[in-house]
Amino acid sequence: MLKKAISILLVTALLASLFFYAVVKLDHHWQWQVLSEYSYKFSFGFMVTLLISFFSLLGSLLLGLFAALGRRSKVLFFRYLASVYVEVIRSTPLLVQILLFFYIIGTAYRLTNRYAMGVLILSLFAGAYVAEIIRGGLESIPSAQLETARSLCFTKVQTYRYIVIPQLSRIVLPPLTGQFASLVKDSSLLSFIAVNEFTKMVMEADALNFATFENYMLLAVGYMLITLPISWLTKRLERKMYYAN
């Protein structure tokens, strides 16, 4: 425990000294006090980012699960549909998808709510990656275990409940955490379609107060406040799953 604490202190001191040296060499006149004038903008944008990320996370999990099962389906239509969805989404940039979905598909189908479209686009984007994570996790489970379950007269529900899901959760949890953290940061690109999320609010404040370094440092801290708890919670879940197994 003592070695761990010392190591953390040394790493913190090293990073702090590197940052402090950069700040000194910059010779910048810091204006932290001007940020308080735009606290409403920052708070509003932060809450919008939280809500969009949360609903996009749920949507990507649902889409990813269906796409993963579709790619393993024996019905060719579902298999090809899921494969095309995953490959198209993964082979194109998110910014391009945002512009195409909002200005072409959204306009054609009269989907004008920017926030709902933002959630839908992020869900579609992240869902393709979640699908591959789940599919890889399913394929990593030895087929001998499934055959053993069948020989013991397990139903499909029992097989998934007692054999597949416990192992799958432990396998896919770390990569899913990374994907969800990326989803939070990717939400910043929704500023291109005028969604008032955290990045757009900071950019608007920067255009008014010209405190660029202060604004974007606040932006970085804000995203860390969202992503770091996700990583911490996931590590706790990993430990619990490890002991349970």
In three-state secondary structure terms, 75 is: coil
Q: What is the CATH code of the structural domain delimited by 36-244?
A: 1.10.3720.10
pLDDT 10s per residue in the chain (245 long)? 778 788 888 888 888 888 888 877 777 788 889 999 999 999 999 999 999 999 999 999 999 999 999 998 889 999 999 999 999 999 999 999 999 999 999 999 988 899 999 999 999 999 999 999 999 888 888 888 878 888 877 887 888 888 888 888 888 888 888 899 899 999 999 999 999 999 999 999 999 988 889 999 999 999 999 998 888 887 777 777 665 55
What are the DSSP calls for 19-38, one per residue?
HHHHHHHHT----GGGGGGG
**Structure confidence at residue 242 (pLDDT):** 62
Q: What's the angle, vertex CA 236, arms to CA 149 and CA 126, rounded to 5?
A: 75
**Structure confidence at residue 25 (pLDDT):** 78
Burial classification of residue 206, based on how many CB atoms lie within 10 Å of its CB (0-12 exposed, 13-18 middle, 19 or more buried): middle
For the chain, the structural domain boundaries read 36-244
pTM: 0.87
